[in-house]
Amino acid sequence: MQHFHVRLLLAATIAAALLFVSAAPAFAAVVVQDTFTGTPVAGNGAIVGRTPDTINTAGNYYTEQQNANVAARMQLDNSTGNPANSLRTGFNNSAHILYSNGGVPTAPITLSIDAQINTIVKNDAAPRGIGLGFYNPLPNLFPGTEASAHTNFTGIAVNPAGTLEYVSAGASQGVFTAAPGGFSTSAFNTLSYTVDPTTSTLTSLNFAGTDYLTDFTTAFPAPGFTASDTAGFYGQTSSNAGYFGRVDNFIVDATLPPAFPLRNLGFESPDFGTNGWKYGVLGGSPMTLGELAVAVWTFGGGAGLSGPNGPWKANNTSPDPLGDQFAFLQGANATVSQDLLSLVPGNTYDLSFFESYRTGTSPSNDLAVILDEGLGTELTIYTNGDVNNALWEARQTDEFLAAKDSYTLTFRTTHPIGSGDRTTLIDGVVLNLVSSGAVIPEPSTILIWSLGLIALAWYARMRRTK
């Protein structure tokens, strides 16, 4: 009987280990949740640059259309909410956040928000009200050309009368509900729905406690509801500072795909046009917080982005297939950085990129490519002490063995060669997998297998002492 119990324990332990290793289901989780507590980052109450109360994609924050008219912008409001604080929408503005660093999820995505219409009015055919949905691409961000708050928006809007309207790619597809019973413009009502990205349709829709999924599917049997990796909301009404709504409890619930190792590989976002350019942090008009969010890269010192015919150009157009913008690193201690994500420990990688210099000024700045600069894991994988090629040329870094799943990648210049305006240009940064190494199991997996080995040892000892 004793042997039976030992065998049973052994079998159960090994089965548990196998089950743990082979079955690792992904569960939907709240990736963004904001109750609009605290104070805004930018002036005039705008939320551009704000990090939500909860966000599971590190480094992401709100961008905002940020209308030039301050009264049109969004502002934190501590006078009311569900509960207070809440966010005043302004009369023509939208807020957006990249909630997935790995592209559009393939599993269902649920969006939810508490909406108070307040003084929003509808006086034309535009989808006036409060909208909840997705943006693709982002609308022009201030100080660019202003656009309507629903530009490039796909989602559901609550009209001032309490009816629901479907908006696709910035165009109204029509109102499809009556107002729920007892609807009040002064109350916060929850709008929540789930979209299946694989079928481009909704699988749930609820407003103010009423289920409206059947109304939606009847009105739009093939809606082509296209989700994106950027969710957000808008408030839109007549151009009057006294007209605005409020939102609270913004939630994005999704199962996220693995993050892309690198984003904006060709430095094509934000788009500054053929002749345009901006420093990241220097100069009289550096990139705005919204532009920095879209760029993804972090810029230090005299680094920034340029179009192909700006003052930073090389002697030929960059061969980067993703586009013709590039990054520049001017003078000493200019940096361009981004986190390398979703690496597999044990795998070997390298990076490829294009390199040139600003041919209209003194040549020969330098360039170094560094992983985890300033940390105990710092590793320099490329150096060029004299970047003097007038044409764009392809470069390859040294290989590196990943000991963890993320590193900070930094391109740096130190300006060691002499005086003058010396600038290195880079473009088309790509991470390459050189070889796959042994899989390093997670600690929890090691624990389960260790229990199995202990059970085997115990069983062997019991047999010897029998």
pLDDT by residue for the chain (466 residues), tens only, comes to: 444 343 433 333 333 333 333 333 344 689 999 999 887 655 555 687 889 999 988 778 998 876 667 667 788 888 899 998 999 998 888 999 999 999 999 999 999 999 999 999 988 888 999 999 999 988 766 555 567 899 999 999 999 999 999 999 999 999 999 999 999 999 999 999 999 999 999 999 999 999 999 999 999 999 999 999 999 999 999 888 889 999 999 999 999 999 999 999 999 999 999 999 999 998 888 998 888 988 999 999 999 999 999 899 888 889 998 999 999 999 999 999 999 999 999 999 999 999 999 988 877 799 999 999 999 999 999 999 999 998 999 999 999 999 999 999 999 998 877 778 899 999 999 999 999 985 545 544 444 445 554 544 544 554 445 4
Q: Which range marks the domain in which residue 391 is found?
A: 277-435
Q: Note whether 285 and 185 are same-domain residues.
A: no
User: Is 196 part of any domain?
Assistant: yes
List Cα–Cα distances, 35 to 46, 68, 224, 246, 439, in angstroms. Answer: 15, 25, 30, 12, 41
CATH number for the domain that contains residue 237: 2.60.120.560
User: Is 268 part of any domain?
Assistant: no
Q: CB neighbours (10 Å) of residue 418?
A: 9
Q: Note whether 372 and 308 are same-domain residues.
A: yes
User: Is 168 part of any domain?
Assistant: yes
User: Which tokens in the block code for residue 139?
Assistant: 């609308």
User: Is 261 part of any domain?
Assistant: no
Please calculate the CA angle 46-50-51 and round it to the nearest 5 degrees: 160
Q: Note whether 423 and 348 are same-domain residues.
A: yes
Q: How many domains does one find in the chain?
A: 3
Q: Note whether 63 and 154 are same-domain residues.
A: yes
Q: Note whether 37 and 128 are same-domain residues.
A: yes
User: Is 58 part of any domain?
Assistant: yes
Q: What is the pLDDT of residue 180?
A: 97
Q: Note whether 307 and 176 are same-domain residues.
A: no
Q: Note whether 64 and 9 are same-domain residues.
A: no
User: Is 69 part of any domain?
Assistant: yes
Q: What is the pLDDT of residue 24?
A: 36
Q: Note whether 239 and 302 are same-domain residues.
A: no
Packing angle of the helix pair 2-22, 443-465 (nearest 10 deg): 160
User: Is 269 part of any domain?
Assistant: no
CATH number for the domain that contains residue 411: 2.60.120.200
Q: Note whether 183 and 316 are same-domain residues.
A: no
Q: Note whether 402 and 298 are same-domain residues.
A: yes
User: Is 380 part of any domain?
Assistant: yes
Q: Note whether 228 and 298 are same-domain residues.
A: no
Q: Note whether 175 and 197 are same-domain residues.
A: yes
Q: What is the pLDDT of residue 123?
A: 81
